[in-house]
């Protein structure tokens, strides 16, 4: 395993952007699950499931806020250009 200090800053910024995109997608999926649970389940099952989903969303939001601190706003990443 290579240490972080061997990673160039543009690569690090790209990695951060990918991680934040992944966390955003995970949060959206969990929020969709919350909406589904609210529509489908009965109250006892619903409360337990919603508590678990809420806990997972809080962890994702915490990680997102942590990693976002390291983002360089001047770094531009066009994902569509990277892989075309």
pLDDT value of residue 84: 64
- Give the pair of three-digit tokens for residue 42: 């009965």
If one compares 10 and 83, the residue with the highest pLDDT of the two is: 10
Q: Which residues contact 24 (CB under 8 A, 6 or more apart)?
A: 64
* Residue 79: band (very low, low, confident or very high) from pLDDT cuts 50, 70, 90: low
- Give the pair of three-digit tokens for residue 16: 């951060």
Which tens digit of pLDDT belongs to each residue from 20-76?
Answer: 999 999 999 999 999 998 888 677 778 889 999 999 999 999 999 999 999 998 988
If one compares 79 and 24, the residue with the highest pLDDT of the two is: 24
* Residue 82: band (very low, low, confident or very high) from pLDDT cuts 50, 70, 90: low
- The residue among 69, 84, 80, 82 whose CA lies nearest residue 19 is 69
């Amino acid at each position: 395993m290579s240490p972080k200090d061997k990673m160039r800053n543009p690569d690090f910024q790209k990695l951060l952007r990918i991680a934040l995109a992944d966390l955003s997608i995970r949060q959206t999926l969990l929020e969709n699950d919350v909406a589904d649970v609210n529509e489908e389940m009965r109250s006892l099952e619903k409360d337990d499931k919603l508590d678990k989903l809420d806990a997972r969303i809080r962890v994702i939001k915490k990680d997102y806020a942590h990693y976002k601190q390291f983002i360089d706003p001047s770094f531009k990443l066009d994902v569509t250009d990277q892989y075309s």
